[in-house]
Amino acid sequence: MPAPRHQRLARTTYTFGGHLAEYLQGVSDQWLRPAPRANPAMLEIFGDRDRLPRRNLVPWAGEFAGKYLTSAVQILRLTADPALREGIAAFVKHLVSLQAEDGYLGPWPRANRLTGAAPNVMGQEGLTWDAWGHYHVMLGLLLWHEESGDRQALACARRIGDLCCDKFLGARTPRLVDTGSTEMNLALIHSLCLLYRRTKAQPYLDMALQILEEFAALAPDGSHLAGDYLRSGLDGREFFQTPKPRWESLHPIMGLAELYWLTGRDDCRRAFEHHWWSIAKLDRHNNGGFSSGEQAQGNPYHPGAIETCCTIAWAAMSAEMLRLTGSSVVADELELATLNSILGLHSHTGRWVTYNTPMDGVRKASAHDIVFQAREGSPELNCCSVNGPRGLGLIGEWALMQGEEGLFLNWYGPSTLEAETAWGRVRLAQETEYPRNGRINLRVSPAKAAEFALHLRLPYWSARTRVRLNGEAVKGVRPGTYLKLERRWKRGDKIELDLDMSPHYWAGERECEDRTSVYRGPVLLTYDRRHNEMDPEDLPELDARALKGRLLPNQDWLPTQVLAEYQAADGRRLRLCDFASAGEGGSPYVSWLKVRNAPATPYSPANPLRSGRT
Ligand SMILES: [Zn+2]
């Protein structure tokens, strides 16, 4: 069977500095640790599912516990915080105790278990995303089992898998696809694949393969019941033109990559890769975020809401794509999303996330925008608040990876990563202010001298990168690739990496016609009113031919990753900060700027859709 090209190293200790360290600490202390007790209905809704009067629930209420758990475990991998670990263990113990005898672990009444409808959806009879809720619970439980070895968590996930097989496997009716809300409910394919990989119990794989068939199911009138993800991917249809272009579809699509590894079916791999590239090309915004109005539109300039859940799903799908292809350009995408949209959707304190993180606009907490999801006992819960931290947690999936050809370093920033690798214990310590500037001093320290290849990600935007190894210049440095350094490494070997931070541009079209995005390395430069004297309607034009800026010291009480001052064409001074920090103080921000003489810049030299390969 094919194996992932690159894998995360499970036994890695992460020590981050700088901006990211503050976010991780904040998210852990201010949100993940207090969230369950501040919002006890996250679990209570399972315990009183058959009590009267019925709770009035949103269709996706069953997802909150699972999304929360996935976020918490992924952050824990990065911080190893003992208090968070203890909190998760107690949370899982309680969650598992709320499973019904038949394996059901949702919030709906007995007669409505996995039927796809219930009498108490938003106060009336309506459709439920019940299988989707179970998908998220399974995902969280499996991650926690992997992290902790907790057998109760695995047993609980198995009982959910068994319940799905009992209800739907074989020629039973209704089928899972008949329960409706199929972008959501068919996501079970992904967690069933993960469960099969863990247990090797055949029915889980059989059920996943059955869902693969159900992707193409038709209604009596010939319309698609589900997203037809396999066939549309093989036919080369753009993702936004598929029958179900909402963001939830990215989760069932992740099942395609898993099925490729489990069965060797190359059609699943090709369809998955096609959809990833289609979104990267047509629906990924300038800030690395995905979705416009909660779905793909085939237009990265579309001003619709860029929902937190959508960007998180895009990052999770990208981590899968990176495992599948080992392409450094995919890691570039993850960095872009993380340093701009994902940090940007978080409050710097970690206390809240947004629902919408627009390219131009203001930042509002999800507690403003989607307050309709708040309920008694869960005032802070909504689909985004439980999901957002996963975006930061995902860094552990891609920061440092291992493949047959060696180690692959994707994360740049102040950090020490220490990993148990196939070549012994290796410590990678970075002294740097990146992304404030492009100089990275990296020390490579294997516990014992060892021969292996270390691959450094050379971002596609870094036109001229300089690399020195123990003082000697390294040749063969090409953007959009990994630089392979193969040698006998010994403690204290030193690499100096200078990434090209000169500005690069994305000239806008359609709704962003006559506007340009300006990047400094991976960071999208953004006007924020609070750093400037002019208002958003009065922004001066920059000249790309003579764009000179100077970095300003970070002395603000609201910290930034980057703050720089540029001379505009009319002589005024325009201060730009990193997208993630823009709007933190509640002021309006603009990332599509007025720029004259900006060159057209292709998204990526390695984009196979641009160069005609598939
Ligand atoms: Zn959401």
CA dihedral of residues 380, 287, 560, 20 (deg, nearest 10): 70
Give residue-wise pLDDT tens across range 169-212.
998 899 999 999 999 999 999 999 999 999 999 999 999 999 99
Tokens standing for residue 561: 């990753």
pLDDT score of 604:
52
Q: How far is the CA of 306 from the centre of ligand 1 (A)?
A: 10
Binned average pLDDT, 10 residues per bin, the chain of 614 residues: 96 96 98 98 98 98 98 98 98 98 98 98 97 98 98 98 98 95 98 98 98 98 98 97 98 98 98 96 96 97 98 98 97 97 97 98 96 98 98 98 98 98 98 97 98 97 96 95 98 97 93 95 98 98 94 90 96 98 97 93 51 34
Q: How far is the CA of 352 from the centre of ligand 1 (A)?
A: 13
181 within 8 A of 129, measured Cβ to Cβ: yes
Kindly provide the residue ranges of all beta strands, DSSP E only, lying in 4-140, ordered along the sequence: 6-8, 12-16, 117-121, 124-127
Q: How far is the CA of 461 from the centre of ligand 1 (A)?
A: 31
Q: How far is the CA of 575 from the centre of ligand 1 (A)?
A: 32
- Look at phi and psi of residue 413 and say left if phi exceeds 0, alpha if psi is from -120 to 50, else beta: left
In angstroms, rounded to a whole number, what is the distance separating the alpha carbons of residues 286 and 108? 40
Diameter of the chain measured on Cα atoms: 74
Q: How far is the CA of 233 from the centre of ligand 1 (A)?
A: 25
Q: How far is the CA of 529 from the centre of ligand 1 (A)?
A: 27
Q: 528 pairs with which residues across the strands?
A: 589
pLDDT score of 173:
93
Q: How far is the CA of 71 from the centre of ligand 1 (A)?
A: 13
Give residue-wise pLDDT tens across range 265-288.
999 999 999 999 999 999 999 999
Q: How far is the CA of 307 from the centre of ligand 1 (A)?
A: 6
In angstroms, rounded to a whole number, what is the distance separating the alpha carbons of residues 360 and 175? 43
Tokens standing for residue 591: 């990332």
182 within 8 A of 226, measured Cβ to Cβ: yes
Q: How far is the CA of 21 from the centre of ligand 1 (A)?
A: 24
Q: How far is the CA of 388 from the centre of ligand 1 (A)?
A: 8
Q: How far is the CA of 48 from the centre of ligand 1 (A)?
A: 25
Q: How far is the CA of 72 from the centre of ligand 1 (A)?
A: 17
In angstroms, rounded to a whole number, what is the distance separating the alpha carbons of residues 477 and 237? 35
Q: How far is the CA of 309 from the centre of ligand 1 (A)?
A: 4
pLDDT score of 599:
84
**CA-based torsion, 614, 246, 341, 135: positive or negative:** negative
Q: How far is the CA of 22 from the centre of ligand 1 (A)?
A: 23
Give residue-wise pLDDT tens across range 350-384.
999 999 999 999 999 999 999 999 999 999 999 99
DSSP three-state, residue 100: coil
416 within 8 A of 368, measured Cβ to Cβ: no
pLDDT score of 27:
98
Residue type, 408: F
Q: How far is the CA of 61 from the centre of ligand 1 (A)?
A: 12
* pLDDT more than 90, % of the chain: 96
- When the pLDDT of each residue in the chain is averaged and rounded to a whole number, the result is 96
| Burial of residue 553 (number of CB atoms within 10 Å: 0-12, 13-18, 19+) | exposed
**CA-based torsion, 325, 329, 331, 333: positive or negative:** negative
pLDDT score of 554:
81
245 within 8 A of 278, measured Cβ to Cβ: no
DSSP three-state, residue 161: helix
Q: How far is the CA of 563 from the centre of ligand 1 (A)?
A: 30
pLDDT score of 556:
87
Q: How far is the CA of 169 from the centre of ligand 1 (A)?
A: 30
pLDDT score of 349:
96
pLDDT score of 611:
38
Q: How far is the CA of 386 from the centre of ligand 1 (A)?
A: 8
Which H helix or E strand runs over 270?
Answer: helix 266-282
Q: How far is the CA of 206 from the centre of ligand 1 (A)?
A: 31
Q: How far is the CA of 582 from the centre of ligand 1 (A)?
A: 21
In angstroms, rounded to a whole number, what is the distance separating the alpha carbons of residues 363 and 230? 37
In angstroms, rounded to a whole number, what is the distance separating the alpha carbons of residues 78 and 152? 24
Q: How far is the CA of 382 from the centre of ligand 1 (A)?
A: 7
pTM attached to this predicted model: 0.97
Q: How far is the CA of 384 from the centre of ligand 1 (A)?
A: 4
Q: How far is the CA of 337 from the centre of ligand 1 (A)?
A: 16
Q: How far is the CA of 503 from the centre of ligand 1 (A)?
A: 33
Residues around ligand 1, an ion, CB closer than 5 A: 309, 383-384
Q: How far is the CA of 385 from the centre of ligand 1 (A)?
A: 7
